[in-house]
Amino acid sequence: MARRVRRSNGPLDLREQAILRAVIEEYVATATPVGSVALVERYGLGVSSATVRAILAELEAAGYLDQPHTSAGRVPTDHGYRYYVSSIVDSPPLSPVEELMIRHQFGQVEAASEHWFRLAATTLAGLTHAAGLATPAKPRAARVRRVDLVAIQDRLASLILVLREGSIKQILLSLDEAADQAALSAAAERLNRLFTDQTARQIDATLVRFDPDDPANILVRKVAERIARSMREFDTALIEEFFSDGLLNVMEAPEFAQSDKLRRVFSALENRAWLGELLRGVASSGRVQVFIGGENEPPEMHDVSLVLAPYGRPGRAVGVVGVLGPTRMSYAHAIGTVRFVGGLMNELTDQLS
Amino acid sequence: MARRVRRSNGPLDLREQAILRAVIEEYVATATPVGSVALVERYGLGVSSATVRAILAELEAAGYLDQPHTSAGRVPTDHGYRYYVSSIVDSPPLSPVEELMIRHQFGQVEAASEHWFRLAATTLAGLTHAAGLATPAKPRAARVRRVDLVAIQDRLASLILVLREGSIKQILLSLDEAADQAALSAAAERLNRLFTDQTARQIDATLVRFDPDDPANILVRKVAERIARSMREFDTALIEEFFSDGLLNVMEAPEFAQSDKLRRVFSALENRAWLGELLRGVASSGRVQVFIGGENEPPEMHDVSLVLAPYGRPGRAVGVVGVLGPTRMSYAHAIGTVRFVGGLMNELTDQLS
DNA sequence: GTTAGCACTCGACACGTGAGAGTGCTAACT
DNA sequence: AGTTAGCACTCTCACGTGTCGAGTGCTAAC
């Protein structure tokens, strides 16, 4: 008699929490539905399997767990994972050893900032055994750091445009009339004097005041217009670049062993609109965020989770690093790792102005 | 009576060739072992299935075909594919429509040469429904095109090194003593005067003649050494970068549907030593090359084939583009496409000096 | 409120069977 | 001599069946 019935849908009591955690951890480790007996055996809960069964039934009724079929163990739902994740906001950080290893890897890469974000993705992939994701830090509005012009042929020049925050663009220019390296260098010098630290909008404003009849302005104007155009493109792009590594790690998870689910996930990643919106949200939130299975809008992403952290300087230049893994993922570890790598990227980008 | 027996292991006669081709084309199309009946039905060979069977048995004995089990149809061996490939050296080129599409795509990319090779990989992946591969054109010995120094903080500067053939490196420099932008610009100017078009070796030679006691030389020397070091690293790297796209296309092939073979292929691609050697060979061969299944040394690559073409200028700067697909691949189409894209990359890199 | 006991459910696995595809061989035909 | 129809044979694959075991929910006793 006296069957346990949840008195309310209020917060879970301590024992329920413990069992939910145990189910999730066991399931994350084994990838098979977990039953009441295994639970009491491996987690020393101090009660019998029958009691655990009663609680499992409650947790299922409350939507935290699910049962693939009548006589199978329980599996966490997205809702269950969400509860679990919110209970570990203050997750244990990485071990000092791991931190040192990561810092060492970044030390190797010779301060080539345009490669940092790739390295972040690779590192995250290695540490979490999931896919690592990263975008470069993208300023809200690009500013010129340095302009250079190199002669290639008579009427062909290479424009090298270095933006603040370390992005470099190389653009081929075809000129209206021949110009030697000296002329190009002079033009570049003038461009630097005029436009260093300026945004596309500011360049446009300056150009308006140019004397259209002065022949000395022709080359400079042409290049400046090209620069402004390139910067406008850069500004309007949602994500300039997007790097992922270790997608193969995810393939190893048994839930993706054979189905083509994973392939759909990969294609969905090409959907820049959704991803861009997501990343933008994370970037402006300023903290680590977790998106679990069905919480992701595209149906293809319902079987995977994302753990994302922003880095950079809010309002100036921001990027995102994170991991993508199966919903059945070690969130505590993933969150700790992503948080640390995000912090490291903060430090690194701080060095660059 | 009078069972057909191959009189010699000389070249195949016309009918045998036709049947071998038919088997391969049918198998490439259907991915299932092909039997004698299907063959006469779909390829109007003008003989009965019994005759075809006799010939199939011969081709099998000669090593061109294989039988998964007694009562299955035939499947081409690597040897069979090799024969087929060598019989289509003068493969039909792409259709004009396809060529136009490709050119159009490259037209879109705004002459940013460091992205061309990626685009080549992406294009190849799309056209062949296999994985596209590409390396950037890598000069035998890097030469300086342009050096630039940008102040970041008091003792921190960004060195921007543009190499010929379009490669750009950004390197963070920590200075021994503070230097403002003017000082850095002056140093950069001097570096450009001294070292434009020089190799790492030539820079080293020039530095030896520097007066070690002249304080004006300190900054220039430090930067020059860093430049030379970076260029030496660049020179010794087998493949600077290696880009692949569309690995997912290969996943769609039924032979890789579930097994983890493909994962091993992916890992094998990380084996830079083998791949570097292979690419180097292709680059110096000057023509499209095909590597079929077991012809690849690493055992993980025994189920895939590579079609690779070099581009660039022999002796100066060369790169490789190509595709990776299942052994059961449409070689004629792949070869035609790879050849065309390789030629296009030739045109494009020719523009840059 | 907890626990032992028990009937019940359902997937996983092994096994057996039949259909179908494709072969090699033989004997007759051109 | 080369080609073809016919046929027995082999092997895979799909399907249905039966058994096993894990895990459950329920009930009655503690």
Give contacts of A117 with chain B, Cβ < 8 Å. Answer: none
Tokens of residue B134, six digits: 């590409």
Rounded to the nearest angstrom, the gap between the alpha carbon of residue A150 and the centroid of all alpha carbons in its chain is 36
Let me know: does A166 contact A177? Beta carbons within 8 Å.
no
CA distance readout (Å), A3 to A9, A51, A58: 17, 10, 11
Residue A243, exposed/middle/buried by CB under 10 A (0-12, 13-18, 19+)?
Answer: middle
Alpha helices in chain B (DSSP H): 14-30, 36-43, 49-61, 78-86, 96-108, 113-128, 181-195, 200-208, 217-236, 247-251, 261-269, 272-285, 331-351
* A162 contacts in chain B (CB < 8 Å): 148, 150, 158, 160, 170
pLDDT over threshold 80, residue B6? no
Asked if B88 and B331 count as a contact pair (C-beta separation under 8 A), the reply is: yes
Q: Is the predicted pLDDT of residue A3 greater than 80, yes or no? A: no
User: What distance in Å separates the CA atoms of residue A87 and residue A109, rounded to the nearest whole number?
Assistant: 36
Q: Give the span between the Cα atoms of B304 and A280, in whole angstroms.
A: 40
Task: Identify whether the C-beta of residue B290 lies closer than 8 Å to the C-beta of residue B305.
Answer: yes
* pLDDT tens by residue, B288-299: 999 999 999 999
Q: Are A103 and A87 in contact (CB under 8 A)?
A: no
Q: Per-residue pLDDT for A298 more than 90? A: yes
Q: Decide if A353 and B153 are in contact by the 8 Å CB cutoff.
A: yes
B2 pLDDT more than 90: no
Q: Categorize the per-residue pLDDT at A46 as very low, low, confident or very high, splitting at 50, 70 and 90.
A: confident
Residue B119 and residue B132: Cα distance in Å, rounded?
A: 9
Chain A nearest CA to B39, separation (Å):
32
pLDDT range class, residue B266, cuts 50, 70, 90: confident
**Under 8 Å between Cβ of B338 and B137:** no
CB A23 within 8 A of CB A324: no
The nucleotide minimizing the C1' distance to residue B36's CA is: C22
What is the per-residue pLDDT for B7? 44
Where residue A84 falls among pLDDT bands split at 50, 70, 90? very high
Q: Is beta strand B138-139 parallel, antiparallel or unpaired with respect to B317-326?
A: antiparallel
List the single residue in A with minimal CA-CA distance to B259. A258
Residues A146, B168: Cα–Cα separation, whole Å: 14
Burial string for B289-313 (b: 16+ CB within 10 Å, else e) reads bbbbbbbbebebbbbbbbbbbbbbe
- Residue B130 class from Cβ within 10 Å (0-12 exposed, 13-18 middle, 19+ buried)? buried
Residues B103, B127: Cα–Cα separation, whole Å: 13
Of B80-94, B161-175, B179-193, B301-315, least confident by mean pLDDT is: B161-175
Decide the pairing of beta strands B75-76 and A75-76.
Answer: unpaired
- B41 φ/ψ angles, rounded to the nearest 5 degrees: -60, -50
What pLDDT does residue A112 have?
A: 58
Q: For B251-261, what is the mean pLDDT?
A: 78
HSE value, Cβ hemisphere, 13 Å, CA-based, for A125: 20
Query: Which stretches of chain B sit within 8 Å of chain A by CB?
Result: 110-114, 145-146, 148, 150, 152-153, 156, 158, 160, 162, 166, 168-172, 248, 251-252, 257-258, 260, 263, 266-267, 351-353
> Per residue in A180-226, pLDDT tens?
888 998 999 899 999 999 999 999 999 998 887 888 788 999 999 99
For residue range B8-20, what is the model confidence (pLDDT) as tens digits? 466 788 899 999 9
E strand or H helix that includes residue A234: helix A217-236
User: What gap in Å lies between CA B314 and CA A160, rounded to an integer?
Assistant: 27
Res A109: pLDDT: 58
B53 burial level (CB within 10 Å; 0-12, 13-18, 19+): middle
Mean pLDDT of B198-214: 89
Torsion angle in degrees (nearest 10) through CA of A91, A92, A93, A97:
-150
**Is there a contact between A353 and B152 if contact means CB atoms under 8 Å apart?**
yes
pLDDT, greater one: A256 or A121: A121
Average pLDDT over residues B298-314: 93
Mean pLDDT of chain B: 87
Residue B78: both structure tokens together: 């690597």
- Give residue A2's pLDDT: 40
Assess contact for A56 and A119: CB atoms under 8 A.
no
- Across the range A30-49, mean pLDDT stands at 91
B230 is near strand D: CB distance < 7 Å: no
Give B232-299 as a 3 state SS string: HHHHHCCCCCCEEECHHHHHCCHHHCCCCHHHHHHHHHCCHHHHHHHHHHHHHHCCCEEECHHHCCCH
Q: Which of B263, B277, B173 has its CA nearest to residue B225?
A: B173
pLDDT value of position A111:
54
CA distance A63 to B187: 68
For residue B305, give the nearest of B321, B328, B276, B279 by alpha carbon: B328
Contact list in A for residue B146 (CB cut-off 8 A) is: 148, 150, 160
> Model confidence at A113, in pLDDT bands (50, 70, 90)?
low
Pair of tokens at residue B127: 């056209």
Contacts of B273 (CB under 8 A, 6+ apart): B238
For residue A237, pLDDT over 80 is answered with no
Q: Supply the pLDDT for residue B329.
A: 95
Contacts of B159 in chain A (CB under 8 A): none
**Does the pLDDT of residue B1 top 50, yes or no?**
no
Rounded CA separation A309/A343 (Å)? 9
| Predicted pLDDT at B243 | 83
Q: Is B267 left (phi over 0), alpha (psi -120 to 50) or beta?
A: alpha
Interface residues of A toward B, Cβ cutoff 8 Å, are: 110-114, 145-146, 148, 150, 152-153, 156, 158, 160, 162, 166, 168-172, 248, 251-252, 257-258, 260, 263, 266-267, 351-353
User: Which strand (E) or helix (H) includes residue B133?
Assistant: strand B131-134
Give percent of chain B with pLDDT exceeding 90: 47
Q: pLDDT tens, A254-281?
A: 888 766 788 788 888 877 788 888 988 9
Cα(B278)–Cα(B308) distance, integer angstroms: 10
Rounded CA-CA distance B75/B66 in Å is 5
- Residue with structure tokens 């993980």? B300
The structure's pTM equals: 0.82
pLDDT tens track for B145-161: 889 888 888 888 888 88
Rg (chain B; Cα; Å): 27
- Digit-coded pLDDT (tens) for A54-63: 999 999 999 9
Q: Tell me: pLDDT of A321 over 60.
A: yes
B244 pLDDT above the threshold of 80: yes
Burial category of A313 from C-beta neighbours within 10 Å (exposed 0-12, middle 13-18, buried 19 and up): middle
% chain A with pLDDT above 90 = 47
With tokens 């069972």, the residue in question is B3
What does the pLDDT read at residue B165? 65
Three-class secondary structure of residue B230 per DSSP = helix
Contacts of B141 (CB under 8 A, 6+ apart): B199, B200, B201, B235
